[in-house]
A and B are shown apart, each in its own frame.
Chain A
Amino acid sequence: MNSTMSLRVFAIIIAVAALATLPLWMGGIYYINVASQILLYAVFALGLNVLVGYAGLTSLGHAGLFGVAAYATGYMLQLGYGHTESILVALLVGVASMAVYAVLSLRSTGIGFIMITLALGEILWGLAYRWISLTGGDNGINVPKRPAPFGYSLSNATNFYFTTLIVFLLVVVVMAIFVRSPLGAALRGTRDQPRRMNALGYHVWAIRFYACLFSGLLTAVSGILFVYYTQFISPQTLALTSSAEVLLMVIAGGPGTLLGPIVGAGLVVIVKTVVSGFIERWNFLLGAIFVAIVILMPDGLVPGTTRLWRLATRKRAPVAAKTEGAP
């Protein structure tokens, strides 16, 4: 127990150190930008994972929320407000939209939930596309400048990476706390045994509603990072394919794990941006990878690898495993 614990702490320290020094050993700005993208999509995937992994509610409309936060930022900046106000309003708008989503879609679970969130996502996409006076339609909204808090200009790729990294680490810590908190435990309870939870006196709907708000907040955070990263937002970002993409990140990495969505985000972003430069049919490759994951590791890359790892270590040291397992 103690040795695995220290191993885990060691791994976390290594990972954080690697991420913190990434601009030093990663060759070139391009790869630093790819890393920023991975981190911001990881935040998005972590947000969706709250629902998919811990609440057992699969949403196909999260790109809508992501886009709403991005549009809110872009529109506020266009109106001439400062970055702080714009970000705060975008967070509020993101969470408020999620609240509306939740009120409408939490009337059901399973397929019903998927279909309602899908419909809501499409409505938001339609609004972005057709409400031209607000969103600029197909032409989108430009964000001419990234902010420079305390003179720390984010237009520099490395600085933007560090900012994204800080936000990302904060989100990971908050997620870890959330998962261990009584609310997180209750949420998993509503996923596995909603009727028993109800019988035990838990308000299942309210627990799910809070989870939705939390997921909406993280999604809004990633949407804001996205709009500052690309400095541009247009309806394509809200399309169903984006929702599906982030859902695939969660499913490929391993829903219901802390590390899974991060690994999934890394996989999808790398195939989409880096590998697509070499292979024209990268969509096909991504599809093939997912099929492989579904066949070989149906519960995702992270749980699958963990299982393989355990299998390997158990073979090598069966005695140790036995004594550890004994009371």
Chain B
Amino acid sequence: MSRKLSRRKFMAGTAAGAALATFKFPTPALAQAAPFKLGLLTVKTGPLAQGGIQMEQGVVTYLKEKNYTFAGRKVEFISADTGGNPAGTKTKAQELIEREKVDAILGPLAAFELLAVTDYITEQKTPMLSLAGAEDMTQRRPNPYFLRPSATSAQAMHPMADFAAKELKLKRIVTISEDFAFGHEQMGGFQQTFEEAGGKIVNKIWPPLVTPDYTPFVAQIGDCDGVCQGFAGSNPLRFLKTYAAAGLKYPVVTGETGGDDALLRSFGDEALGMYSSCPYTLDLDTDGNKRFVAAMQKDYGVDPGFYAAGLYVAAQTVAAGLEKSNGKSDDKDAFIKALRSVELKDTPRGAIKYDHFGNVVGDFFIRHLEKANGKYVNKTVKTYHNISQFWTYDEKKFLAAPVYSRNYPPMKS
């Protein structure tokens, strides 16, 4: 009895489906209105999860603002957790592209995740908008399907070095950062600009990404008048605690990850006085940013940082690109061209555009970490406008030099 019923139901279901299909078929206008599928590769488990969760919150905030509609097309959002490891990133990218058939991918977070999938996305021609540093993705080995709405590793460090040399009048700096590409590239950029401005890097220290105790590394800091740290994730917190505990008082400068606004609630007094350079700042006084911050605080009860803002801007770029291509994303090459030509006036980080490598050109903010009303805040003290990944350098000359690395630029003796 029950078996019969279920079979009848099944038949009815198929009939309805077939009927629907026949109705849908002769109207091509409906096909255009197929949902736009937006994938996100992020990290929701493990040590990088703090930034990864903010990434997803940033995207969702923008989707809600647009009522899940880009250029008249419904947006279907699919989030995947890579677990912060490259093999997982590859698997999840395959899931998004091959099973979900997404039209664009946001993320991943870390450079080593990005490097694991760069060849794959080129092969699949799927536009990817990522925060990950890996300089050469938009320089010497450009990927035509890649866009970086945040910053290259060194992009925030060039203005930081300029500020450290010219405004803070620092002369001798020790750099300390994680021993992987993002750290190498940040410190390389800092060294190049700082030394050109007359300063000198006296020592470069490279603790591994997972360092249980920074004491032996902090002990090597000396014979200098400033420190540049380039830590990522939750490492800046631990580094600064050890630094203060060792009684060191040299001023500290850092990039977007080392002084991220999302870290502020975890910092203590040891972080006071630190200068950071970031493509996003919480205190930017524009409508776009106020709307974004209010939405993040309302929905999640947190202050957004660089990760959330970066992904919000990425989603804005996708929406604007889709608008430009009249809602069409099937022709991948035309779509990526539309994405790269996007110029946005009102993002949480101000106006941005993309250079011909797909890397962002925008404002960078130098902030001073202070205490106001019992809360730690990053107060913007100087804004560098329209900074590209090449800083003030000539693009050709810049690209002819090797990519910033552990040994480039070389130490001057």
Contact = CB atoms under 8 A, between A and B. Distances in A.
B209 interface: yes
Given A231-B119, A232-B115, A234-B112, A138 B180 contact: yes
Contacts of B300: none
A237 interface: yes
B44 interface: yes
B87 A230 contact: yes
A273 B80 CA distance: 10
A73 to B, nearest CB: 15
Interface string A233-255: 01011000000000000000000
A306 to B, nearest CB: 31
Given A30-B95, A232-B116, A139 B85 contact: no
A137 B180 contact: yes
A100 interface: no
B85 A236 contact: yes
A30 to B, nearest CB: 4
A230 B118 CA distance: 11
A44 interface: no
Of A28, A31, A129, A277, the most chain B CB neighbours within 10 A belong to A277
Given A230-B86, A232-B87, A237-B87, A30 B94 contact: yes
Contacts of B361: none
Interface residues of A, number: 29
Interface string A14-35: 0000000000000011110100
A145 to B, nearest CB: 8
A138 to B, nearest CB: 4
Interface in B79-117: 80-81, 85-87, 90-91, 94-95, 98-99, 111-112, 115-116
Interface size band for B = 20 to 34
B119 A144 contact: yes
A276 B81 contact: yes
Contacts of A30: 94-95, 98-99
Contacts of B90: 230-232
Nearest to A283: B45
Contacts of A33: 94, 98
Contacts of B119: 142, 144, 231
A130 interface: yes
Contacts of A142: 115-116, 118-119
B181 A139 contact: yes
Chain B interface mostly helix, strand, loop or mixed?
Answer: helix
Interface string B180-207: 1100000000000000000000000000
Given A230-B87, A237-B87, A140 B98 contact: no
B406 A37 contact: no
A155 interface: yes
Contacts of A231: 90, 119-120
A273 B208 CA distance: 29
A279 to B, nearest CB: 10
A132 B183 CA distance: 14
Of B98, B111, B123, the most chain A CB neighbours within 10 A belong to B98
B44 A280 contact: yes
Nearest to A232: B116
A280 B120 CA distance: 25
Given A138-B181, A140-B112, A155-B123, A236 B87 contact: yes
Nearest to B116: A232
A155 to B, nearest CB: 7
B179 interface: yes
Nearest to B206: A132
A178 to B, nearest CB: 29
Nearest to A31: B99
A139 B45 contact: no
Given A132-B179, A139-B111, A236-B87, A230 B116 contact: yes
Contacts of A283: 45
B86 A132 contact: no
A75 B87 CA distance: 18
A140 B90 CA distance: 13
Contacts of B44: 280
B209 A138 contact: yes
Interface in B23-72: 44-45
B92 to A, nearest CB: 8
Contacts of A236: 85-87
A273 B85 CA distance: 13
A28 B98 contact: yes
Nearest to A242: B87
A266 to B, nearest CB: 15
B275 to A, nearest CB: 27
Interface string A267-291: 0000011001100100100000000
A138 B232 CA distance: 14
Given A137-B179, A138-B112, A140-B116, A234 B86 contact: yes
Interface of A: 28-31, 33, 37, 129-130, 132, 137-140, 142, 144, 155, 157, 230-232, 234, 236-237, 272-273, 276-277, 280, 283
19 contacts: A28-B98, A28-B99, A29-B98, A33-B94, A132-B406, A138-B179, A138-B180, A139-B111, A139-B180, A142-B119, A144-B119, A230-B87, A232-B86, A234-B112, A234-B116, A236-B85, A272-B91, A276-B81, A277-B95
Closest 6 CB pairs of A and B: A30-B99, A30-B98, A138-B180, A236-B85, A232-B116, A29-B98
